[in-house]
Amino acid sequence: MLTLVASGQMSPAEAAAQIDAPDFADLGFARVDMRRQLRTGVTEVVYGEGKTAAQIASICEALREGGQGRVLVTRISREKAQDVLGTGLFPEACYWEPSRLLLTAPLPQPDGKGTVAVVCAGTSDLPVAEEAAVTAEALGNKVERVYDAGVAGIHRLFASADVLATARVVIAVAGMEGALPSVVAGMVPSPVLAVPTSVGYGASLGGLAALLAMLNSCASGISVVNIDNGFGAAFQASLINHL
C-alpha cells in the first residue's frame, strides 16, 4: 500500500498535481518518478553527470509539470548549466559554481527543526562542502558554514565550537588523513555525518585513506558517506533535521 507523505515545502496545488500525476513519465531516455515527494517527503533530485543539457531540461520540465515546483540538479558543469538556463524554461533558476548544483527555482524558506552545520577541513574541500551546504538549503534547512577549520590549526575549529554545539546535525568534510570528523564528534551532542574527500597526496589514494580513517573512528556518533558525496550527507542531514 502506498503511503503518501506531504512535505512542508509542498504547496496544496503541488500536492494535488502530484496526486493526479502518473507514477512516472516515460521520456524514452528516462522514466521520471513523478510522485517521489508524496511518497518520501523529499523532492526528486536529478544527477547531472552523464546526461546532456537537453535531457536534464526535459526531466526538470516533466517534474515541474507533475507538480514539483523546485528541482535540484547535482554534478552539472557550468557549460551544461548555461545550456539549461539558455532554454528559458526556468527563468528563476540558480547555479552554484563550486558545488556544481543547479536549482530550477529560488531556495526555499527553511522548515527544518534546527540548524545543519557544515564544517570542512581546508579550502580545497570547499566544492564538496558547498555541495552539502547548498543541497541542505535546497531541501529546506538553515545552514551554518564553518570552513577551513582542520586539525592542522585546531584553534580555528574551537573558535566555532558554539556553532557546532547548537546544530541539530553536523556534516564534517575532510580529505588528507580525514581526522576532522573524529574531533568534531568528541565536541558535539548531535549526529556527525562524515564526508571523505579525494583531496590529498599520493598515499591518500583518492580519498580512500580518509574514508578508512572515518570508518575506523574511535568517536561515537559518526556515520560515513562515500568519497566526495556531499549530496548524500546533506540528504541524510535533512532527514534528521525534519524528523
Domain boundaries, the chain: 12-103, 115-241
CATH of region 115-241: 3.40.50.1970
Q: Residue 227 is placed in which grid cell?
A: 568519497
Banded model confidence at residue 40, pLDDT cuts 50, 70, 90:
confident
Name residue 101's beta-bridge partners: 96
- The total of other beta-carbon atoms located within 10 Å of residue 125's CB is 27
What is the edge-to-edge ordering of all strands in the sheet holding 101-103? 45-47, 72-74, 101-103, 94-96
Average of per-residue pLDDT values in the chain: 91
Which pLDDT score, from 0 to 100, does residue 65 have? 87
* Cα 119 to Cα 49, 57, 82, 102, 231, distances in angstroms: 25, 32, 29, 22, 14
**Residue 1 pLDDT > 80:** no
The predicted pLDDT at position 32 comes to 87
Q: What is the pLDDT of residue 15?
A: 62
What's the average model confidence in pLDDT over 87-98?
A: 93
CA-based nearest residue to 46, from 185, 115, 31: 31
Hey, what's the cell of 93? 533558476
Q: Closest by alpha carbon to 130, among 116, 115, 118, 142?
A: 118
Q: Which of 8-22, 32-46, 186-200 has the lowest mean pLDDT?
A: 8-22
pLDDT in tens, 218-232: 999 999 999 999 999
pLDDT at residue 209 tops 60: yes
In the predicted structure, residue 191 carries a pLDDT above the cut 50: yes
- At 11, list the grid cell: 504547496
At 203, is the pLDDT very low, low, confident or very high (cuts 50, 70, 90)? very high
Q: Which residue has the higher pLDDT, 207 or 27?
A: 207
Task: Identify which of 73, 39, 58, 62 has the alpha carbon closest to the alpha carbon of residue 231.
Answer: 73
Instruction: List pLDDT tens digits, range 139-185.
Output: 999 999 999 999 999 999 999 999 999 999 999 999 999 999 999 99
The SS3 assignment for 165 reads helix
211's enclosing H/E stretch is: helix 208-215
Quick one: how many helices (H) and strands (E) in the chain? 10, 11
| pLDDT band for position 92 (cuts 50, 70, 90) | very high
Cell digits of residue 193: 555525518
